[in-house]
Amino acid sequence: MRPEVTALLSRYLETFIAAGVAAVGLRFAVSPGPVVQGFGLLLTLVGIGWAVTALRRARFHAKGEAPGIVEVIEGRISYMGPVMGGVVAVDDLIALDVLVVAGARRCWRLRQSDGQALLIPQSAEGAEALYDVFAGLPGASQTALVTALSYSGDTALAVWRRAAVRPPYTTASVSPD
């Protein structure tokens, strides 16, 4: 097989497996018996949901080879590149943007609550693992994440912002003068 075909098949392998699960579920759904049909319907729904998520995850894998390695371990995103790198705790994220660096390379900009930011090229090795992290952020839009993969504007594109946390309600006492 040609390397391009092998790469494409491996990229969409999870999607193919999920579609297969949905197909097996459909087969059971048209079988006689309400228990088997119910199981088949449930398996079909699980397979379809899995296929949609797997397809988005596969599309999230950017083409190209950017320098550096991305790892996601225990709620921490780390990027180690040839010039810069860093670590961000997912709980400390307050904003996620996409920007184009040097007119050609799209990067994720992860901003922390202390004001620091980490730039991660979308096509760095292991960057596809970021999809699950970003999709799990409170209020994150999966459509916005996939759309950000093709962004080519001159300014940063806001993909996600943490909702402002309101301070707890307190009562103040007024002392008479």
Q: What is the pLDDT of residues 57-110, one digit of tens each?
A: 777 666 657 788 999 998 899 999 888 889 999 999 999 999 888 767 888 899
On the question of pLDDT at 25 being above 70, the answer is yes
Name the one residue in this structure whose structure tokens are 């449930």. 42
Could you list the beta-strand ranges (E) of the chain: 66-73, 76-80, 85-89, 93-101, 105-112, 117-121, 124-125, 157-161
| Cβ neighbour number for residue 81 with a 10 Å cutoff | 16
Kindly report whether the global pTM for this prediction surpasses the value 0.75: no
Q: Assign 163 to helix, strand or coil.
A: coil
Worst-scoring range by mean pLDDT, 24-33, 67-76, 134-143, 161-170?
161-170
Torsion, Cα 4 81 84 113, to 10 degrees, reads 80
